[in-house]
Structure 1
């Protein structure tokens, strides 16, 4: 059976799956379990990605210390590949980690630096949580960094490689700097073991859970055969829909206003944003100033199940002020909509502990 959905229904499924409806989640772990990944990024025009993503879901009840506690003390979340993830995903990811790397150039670099690998593991095992800066670089062969995406430090490359193989893990951070340790001292022991095919199937199901609805063959939200087939009015795509999200359509708590960090997972699948929400999102962070329309790091404004504008705001840390440069309205707001946006800005300022400038 192929489910027939209206665009409104598809949007509501997507919004609720991302915990952006009126029924806010209660804590950090609940958010992580549903979303699967909470992006980490240091850009803090308002707040860093991980904290603003959590605030946009939980609201005033969220305090940044809750995140570090769940990662470093309770070990309910773990950091991997630039995101915080729920520990329940680790057993599903482990089969793929054991097969890493697939790329020949990465395998060749690791083979050439086997003694370097041994040195790093021995130091972590002997010394415990360690910063990359405190690990000597004994690499025999340097990795190619001509693409500009990676720095020259071979230590960072080796640590990242060992993390991807499940040998080591990030135990916490000192400021923005990661502290590394042997995986067995970070990850809980006695986790279930899965065959690779079963693990990949369950990962597809978790990705669909986070999306609610996704294009079946999307490279942005790979969900395989998870869920059930669906069609959305006005779209030629074949979708997969989460059956639990579908069954909850009639139990609708309504929408609210949410400001989304540019690295929010809701914004990641650009084709889906355009197809379902009619929202062509472009991050202007890397554009020359003269070519920016909405601002360096403007936050998309979600109202209910529609993207209605962009919030261009930034923290002035010397004056403890949230400066609102502009609220860009895609269409003129009605009075009630303006009030809802103003109220959310006021709450944002209160959560940050600063005053808000007028705009």
Structure 2
């Protein structure tokens, strides 16, 4: 059993997520190191994937370069996560086996719905074959059975069929127009590589997930697309002051640590597992965009602040495109920042403003 101090655990997590020094250099290599970059197009500051990649690469990346990597197929979107195109081979066997061995009840119901609407499936595939790529709103089909849910997606037959066909490896996201996904046949998007056998692929994905996280639980809450846990890969470990067993990537244990300051997306993998964030970093944070304004503590889309191996505050900022500025409404200091921390945060804010092609307005200043 590997014994880790709280500081060791924090540094392991920060280093694994490429948030220590030196910064990485390569966009695709960075995406590969992160394992998965969640797509969310909330643009209060910038879309989350752009923030995640900028926070690692800084001035070495531009929004145009990220867009080009997606448009050229070097980065592909699989069920809401950007991944290097070469990683698709780790998913194609699972897609081909959909809904998988011993599927849960909801997957069985989805399979029955797709089968009942097999004529609509064929119509959608034929439209994409002839005219794709196309957004869902430009596709039509004759459905025998409506998609039923208790919420937002009730009777949204075409989008729900496209998502099932994506899970089956028949269609893929070509690109996005704002928040809207544009779909095409997967054969036109995914590299023509032989699939990695399913058990081998699942094990490799777990190993890569642990390498990207540094340390993780054996089991966690169900997250079917990109789990938060890693099973039995890596080595068992305990973290001082934290209950239970972890798994760690031993290759990262003796890596020298040189920390830096970073501004993070609310959906960054360093903080996305809120339980792990609290256990390892002791950080109090929640994404408050769905709360009424009067109930928000840190702001609509506050950016967590990493300094060295600690999460030390939040930045309440917004991209004001009309005025051409990144407007920082408030800096939240979990404990009073030293002058050097405040200066480092301002350096990152200026870098973020340049990345967004905006000026910068700090609290109490005109810019």
TM-score (norm 1): 0.94
Name the counterpart of 2:94: 96
Instruction: Tell whether the 8 Å contact from 2:63 to 2:355 is kept in structure 1 after alignment.
Output: no
Describe how 1:300-319 pairs up with structure 2 within 5 A: 300-319=304-323
Name the counterpart of 1:172: 175
Cα deviation, residue 353, structure 1:
2.1
Give 1:296's match in structure 2, choosing from 287, 295, 300. 300
Name the counterpart of 2:187: 184
Moved over 4 A (4+): none
Instruction: Tell whether the 8 Å contact from 1:36 to 1:89 is kept in structure 2 after alignment.
Output: no
Cα deviation, residue 68, structure 1:
2.3
Name the counterpart of 2:224: none
Q: 1:350 and 2:354 equivalent?
A: yes
Describe how 1:79-90 pairs up with structure 2 within 5 A: 79-90=77-88
Q: Point out where structure 1 has 5 or more consecutive residues left out of the alignment.
A: none
Secondary structure of the equivalent of 1:311?
strand
Classify 1:106/1:202 alpha carbon distance in 2 versus 1 (closer, same or farther; 3 Å): same
RMSD: 1.5
Describe how 1:104-119 pairs up with structure 2 within 5 A: 104-119=108-123
Q: 1:213 and 2:215 equivalent?
A: yes
Q: 1:157 and 2:155 equivalent?
A: no
Aligned counterparts of 1:65 and 1:100: Cα–Cα separation in 2: 35
Secondary structure of the equivalent of 2:91?
helix
Classify 1:53/1:216 alpha carbon distance in 2 versus 1 (closer, same or farther; 3 Å): same
Aligned counterparts of 1:174 and 1:273: Cα–Cα separation in 2: 33
TM-score (norm 2): 0.92
Aligned counterparts of 1:297 and 1:174: Cα–Cα separation in 2: 22
Cα deviation, residue 55, structure 1:
0.8
Aligned counterparts of 2:234 and 2:168: Cα–Cα separation in 1: 29
Cα deviation, residue 152, structure 1:
4.0
Q: Point out where structure 2 has 5 or more consecutive residues left out of the alignment.
A: 222-226
Secondary structure of the equivalent of 1:247?
coil
Describe how 1:231-246 pairs up with structure 2 within 5 A: 231-246=238-253
Cα deviation, residue 177, structure 1:
2.6
Secondary structure of the equivalent of 1:236?
coil
Cα deviation digits, residues 157-199 of structure 1 (max 9, x gap): 111111110011122233433222211121111x233332211
Name the counterpart of 1:123: 127
Aligned counterparts of 1:84 and 1:70: Cα–Cα separation in 2: 10
Aligned counterparts of 2:359 and 2:130: Cα–Cα separation in 1: 48
Does 273-282 or 326-335 show the bigger shift? 273-282
Secondary structure of the equivalent of 2:76?
strand
Name the counterpart of 1:62: 61
Cα deviation digits, residues 38-82 of structure 1 (max 9, x gap): 111121111111111111110012111212222222x22211111
Cα deviation, residue 151, structure 1:
6.0
